[in-house]
Amino acid sequence: MQFISPDLDAYCEARSGEEPWYLKDSPPRRARGYTCPPCSAAICKAASWPCSVSLFGPRIAIGIGTYTGYSALCLAEGLAHGGMLHTIDIDPYLPEMVHRYIEKAGMLDRITMHHRPALEVIPELPSPFELAFIDADKQNYPAYLEAVLPRMAKGGIIVADNVLWSGKVLAPPQERDEQTAALIRFADMVNADPRFDPVMIPLRDGVLMARVK
């Protein structure tokens, strides 16, 4: 997962601003021994940055992959007044714990949790989305892009985590696993589509940000 040295990673995290109290206090990172790698503070800061710019402040944002809710709290912080973050996760054991932390952070009024496969939920959500953060099962990234794009606002931003997949995206085609192949296809789809203005940032496991023109 981590191909930047832990020391360099810690150096970056330590220089990505102060974590607000409600993030420091967020749920145990490895709840129930669940092995999903949690978002880093730097990644969430990068993802939430466009959200936090007061001029941009989205009214409807979506997060695909809630896990312990860290990225959801980061994204919700920058919503426009009255805005809503729809955060989606398939794991049936997370909602109760995540709900507690959202409540503690005082953000219940701006985060709606959905507990079904993201591809089922996305078409049912209100739109247009002004921010979409993709951080769930990697093999579905191309499908998430197809589901989200028609519902994005002009000027909206898609942010996807793990697009370098520990550097495996450089493996020769015969050595790529399903997830690696899907991540490459996802990045190629974004770059081949003239509706996007994309930038891939080698931050931690790689972040792709694409503005919808």
List residues near ligand SAM by CB under 6 A: 36-39, 65, 67-68, 70-71, 88-91, 117-118, 135-137, 140
Nearer to ligand SAM, 84 or 136 (CB): 136
Least distance from ligand SAM to the Cβ atom of residue 134, Å: 9
Element (H, E) at 142: helix 141-148
Least distance from ligand SAM to the Cβ atom of residue 85, Å: 12
Nearer to ligand SAM, 1 or 55 (CB): 1
Least distance from ligand SAM to the Cβ atom of residue 38, Å: 4
DSSP 203: S
Is the distance from CB of 135 to CB of 71 less than 8 angstroms? yes
Least distance from ligand SAM to the Cβ atom of residue 26, Å: 8
168's tokens: 């495996």
Nearer to ligand SAM, 65 or 78 (CB): 65
Rounded to an integer, what is the distance from CA 73 to the centroid of its chain? 11
Nearer to ligand SAM, 60 or 160 (CB): 160
Least distance from ligand SAM to the Cβ atom of residue 162, Å: 7
Is the distance from CB of 147 to CB of 132 less than 8 angstroms? no
Secondary structure, 3-state, 159-175: EEECCCHHHHHHCCHHH
Nearer to ligand SAM, 32 or 154 (CB): 32
Helix (H, G, I), strand (E, B) or coil at 12: helix
**Strand order from edge to edge, sheet including 111-114:** 111-114, 84-88, 60-64, 129-134, 152-161, 207-212, 196-201
Beta bridge partners of 86: 62, 112
183's tokens: 């991540």
Nearer to ligand SAM, 127 or 179 (CB): 179
